[in-house]
Chain A
Amino acid sequence: MLKEPIKLNMNEVAYPPSKEIIETARKSLMDLNRYSDPEDLERLLGLLADYSGVPKRHIVQSPGSDLLLREIIHTYSKGRKIVIVSPSFFPTVQAAKQFATKLISIRLSPPDFDLNPDLLLDQLNEPCLLIIDNPNNPTGKILLDREIIASIFDHKEALIVVDEAYYEFSGITFADMVQEHPNLAITRTMDKAFSLAGARIGYMIVGEAFFDAFSSFYMFLPRPSLYAAIQALKNPDYMRRNVSRVIAERERVWNALNDNLAVQVYRSMANFLLLKTDVSDIVGKLADIGILISDLSNQLSSGFIRVSIGNREDNDAFIAGYMKICETYSQEKF
């Protein structure tokens, strides 16, 4: 058993924030008796707007994008059908189940996990709130393209929320469509690509239809988080370099696992991989050797697991651990 477990279960980025970010956050601790300065909150809003390529009035910031998703569902569930996909980001499913007066989940099925556009559009002929994570968590699959989004816009009674938590890894965004399409909102986070999971900075890029509900949604952010986020956005190249490293590692891990017959590994556009394994209780067996991965047995059929992409050392430990468990398993089995 290793002393510190290797955490590949939360889709965090293994690379720490830059020294400048850590130093800025550390300095802010000296004033922890003070609330964040409204001017600095406004400054973050401006940086997020620049980063997203929209005017500031389209940005809503919050401690964590899951809070924003929950708020959207809470606000718009009355009198609207909620349409989500399954599996999906779990807090979205949870909030939808809690607040929806009518809930439709569209099941993504293996082996391709595709979203059938006709099926989706059929659901939009009445007032509804559609929430789709793109790339999808846990499949890593891109579910929406511009053509589908354009068809959704034809349904005027539909509010569309695209969760782009993993946008930096996929490079696919609809943020540029928000100004033209008032019914569109995009949720994003700095938890993942920016290596700021512990800071919990989420934001939303919203179309005009969401302005009323969110104009008063002015969330104070904790000082260390606020200044870390500002510093991170001042130099996004640090994040971009880390994203490139994660993507290169993702492909390396995919190739290493794809050669192993005991596992089916799916292509991903995020910082994690979806796997289907024959080895029983693989999550427990990996945990026994100090490697934490995500068990999907409550979301998908038996054998599906999700593994986050860590740094090279973590990924090597996972590959070696997995292979060793597979070897023992085949010896036990045959």
Chain B
Amino acid sequence: MKRKIGLIVNPVAGMGGSVGLKGTDGDMYNRAIKLGARPVTPKRTRDVLSHIRNKDRITLFVAPGKMGERHVEGADMPYAVIGKVGGDSVADDTKRISEEMVNSGIELLVFVGGDGTARDIYDAINSKIPVVAVPGGVKVFSSVFSVSARAAAEMIEAFVESTDLIEEEVLDIDENAFREGRLASRLYGYLLVPNVKKLLQGAKEASGISGSSVEWKKEIATYTVEEMDKRVLYLLGPGTTLKAIADGLRVQKTLLGIDAIFEGKSVGRDLNEKGILALFGKYKKRKIILTPIGGNGFILGRGSKQFTPEVIKQVDRDNIMVVATRDKINRLDCLRVDTGDLDLDRLLSGYMEVTVGYKEKMMVKVRC
């Protein structure tokens, strides 16, 4: 039986790069055109399709015109066109058409674009179906992206042949800061992708060290759970490694939120600052467990704003625990904090112990 696979191409993604602009969000697209930028994603799309070997097992559902249809002609694959182009923006079209595709019964959505496109797809489909993200944008920092067009084709093949799925990060990059040469990003969400870790953006496995990212997270979770003190309130930050710890305790975890655990049981879910401070009234011994955002290493100040300076001060630096898989840490220059309170950031700077495996820790520099 043929697998139904959707394809959406962001026709303007990546054009800023060729003319030295960092991104094509908003007005930047018009500036890119004026500067003579040429589309990047059509070729990338054709590259992906040309590398797929099990084409006979796929039916494509494509967005109209330059958002898909135009690039699949000649790809030797049957396709149907879904939706209409003509919304206020490419982002609107992307969101609407991807929703329509999901409603049409696609099992996997392939999209070509950058971090902005990934956010649009996340807004539209969340984790209803898995995706294969093809890097075509100027800013491609989210770990959800495949490393290349060829890798994307391999991921599609793997999905067709049946594979399990994992969650990978979608980042929200501050484009103005990026233009000024700063990488300011926050965790935006997670998308499901076929579990072929070595093909994912910046996610090469440490060669020679056996296991997969899922297994490493389980290792970290097992050790962390073993070391947990029943008299302590644990606040678990966002991220899949923290979710693995919650799984180890058999409690539910909000992937993007902050949850509280005491005596191995959930005592608060998706907490805001007020909720956290209210718990502090009851629990005197507290610890925060965090994991860095891939790519830039922020442990505080991006994607976990609920950990306000007030909350952090009431926990104390020594009670902040960091967990991350070795491959994630290896790809970071350092850990970073940006709580909005410079004195606190300075206090948090220095070295922190990061649990990277079972009874395995790494001392990593924290910068602000």
Contact = CB atoms under 8 A, between A and B. Distances in A.
Interface of A: 86-87, 90, 93-94, 97, 100-107, 109-110, 116, 119, 123, 281, 297-302, 332-334
24 contacts: A90-B207, A90-B208, A97-B357, A101-B359, A103-B357, A104-B362, A104-B363, A105-B360, A105-B361, A105-B362, A105-B363, A107-B363, A107-B364, A109-B334, A110-B333, A119-B351, A297-B204, A298-B205, A298-B207, A301-B332, A332-B18, A333-B17, A334-B18, A334-B19
A102 B333 contact: no
B365 A107 contact: yes
A235 B230 CA distance: 66
Contact of B204 (A90, A100, A123, A298): A298
Interface in B187-213: 202, 204-209
Contacts of A104: 361-363
B359 A87 contact: no
B330 A299 contact: yes
B47 to A, nearest CB: 14
B356 interface: yes
B329 interface: yes
Those 8 A-B pairs whose CB atoms lie nearest each other, nearest first? A105-B362, A103-B360, A107-B364, A298-B206, A109-B365, A106-B363, A102-B359, A109-B334
Contact of A94 (B208, B351, B363): B208
Contacts of B17: 333
B331 A301 contact: yes
B327 interface: yes
Interface of B: 17-20, 148, 202, 204-209, 327, 329-334, 351, 356-357, 359-365
Contact of B209 (A97, A101, A281): A97
A100 B358 CA distance: 10
Identify the interface centre among A102, A123, A298, A332: most chain B CB within 10 Å of its CB.
A298
A199 B359 CA distance: 37
A102 B355 CA distance: 11
B20 A334 contact: yes
Identify the interface centre among A101, A301, A333: most chain B CB within 10 Å of its CB.
A301
Contact of B331 (A101, A102, A123, A297): A297
A302 B327 CA distance: 12
Nearest to A284: B148
Contact of B360 (A97, A116, A119, A334): A97
Contacts of B20: 334
A143 B333 CA distance: 18
Given A97-B209, A333-B18, A334-B20, A297 B360 contact: no
Contacts of A101: 359
Contacts of B360: 97, 100, 102-103, 105
A285 to B, nearest CB: 12
A19 to B, nearest CB: 37
A298 B202 CA distance: 9
B214 to A, nearest CB: 17
Nearest to B296: A301
Given A297-B202, A334-B19, A107 B331 contact: no
Contacts of A100: 359-360
B223 to A, nearest CB: 10
Given A90-B208, A97-B209, A103-B357, A298 B365 contact: no
Identify the interface centre among A105, A109, A123, A334: most chain B CB within 10 Å of its CB.
A105
Nearest to B356: A105
Contact of A106 (B148, B204, B362): B362
A284 to B, nearest CB: 9
Contacts of B330: 86-87, 298-301
Nearest to B207: A298
B331 A103 contact: no
A305 B329 CA distance: 17
Given A102-B360, A105-B362, 15 more contacts: A94-B208, A102-B359, A103-B357, A103-B360, A105-B361, A106-B362, A281-B148, A297-B204, A298-B204, A298-B206, A298-B327, A299-B330, A301-B331, A302-B331, A334-B19
Contacts of B209: 93-94, 97
A163 B334 CA distance: 25
Contacts of B364: 107, 109
Nearest to B334: A109
A39 B350 CA distance: 55
A205 B151 CA distance: 47
Contacts of A281: 148
A107 B329 contact: yes
A107 B362 contact: yes
Contacts of B363: 104-107, 119, 123
Contacts of B204: 297-298
A107 B326 CA distance: 11
Nearest to B327: A298
B198 to A, nearest CB: 10
Contacts of A302: 202, 331
Contacts of B332: 301
A33 to B, nearest CB: 35
Contacts of A102: 359-360
B357 A116 contact: no
